[in-house]
Structure 1
Amino acid sequence: MAKTTIYTTRFCPYCLAAKALLRKKGVDFEEIDVSGDPEGRARMTQKAGGRHTVPQIFIAGTHVGGFDDLSAMDRAGKLDRLLTSEAGATP
């Protein structure tokens, strides 16, 4: 399974939904909570190409985006392929 990282904050319903979808898919992920961490959020924003909202999800070195993006990939049948890739796959 591809390395998956999700940037979150506490009490974020979209973060909870994204983590639930990933768990449903059997994905082990690294969660980075940027609540109250301006430096961590700045790193996330830079890595996410300027997007500052949470969640921000990265799979196999690819920036997926937020929950809506993750969910759309799943509906389109692209998420499973990305989850089984090693690195650098295009969603």
Structure 2
Amino acid sequence: MTEDSFESVWDALEDSPAEAANMRARAGLMVAIQEAVGGWQLTQAEAARRLGVTQPRMNDLLRGRIDKFSLDALMILAISAGLTVEWRVVKSAA
């Protein structure tokens, strides 16, 4: 039995490097939004209104239901939360 090693859990779980990169980006955005919203000291309903989403959608976000959010949706939510999103693209070592 061989032991594989991965840089990210997403590299282990996803079928392709592109899917893993998408999930890493989505996870990073989700965590940043959760942290921003947590600092507001608002109820889920109030935070949802502030971001322009429904309370059930806010609940999905705060519970980390990443499968319910596209990268685009998370980008829009991050901006709505007052975050600045910066991307860094580098050439792969492989």
TM-score, reference length from structure 1: 0.27
Higher RCO (C-alpha under 8 Å, 6+ residues apart): 1
Q: Going by fraction, where is strand more abundant, 1 or 2?
A: 1
Higher fraction of helix: 2
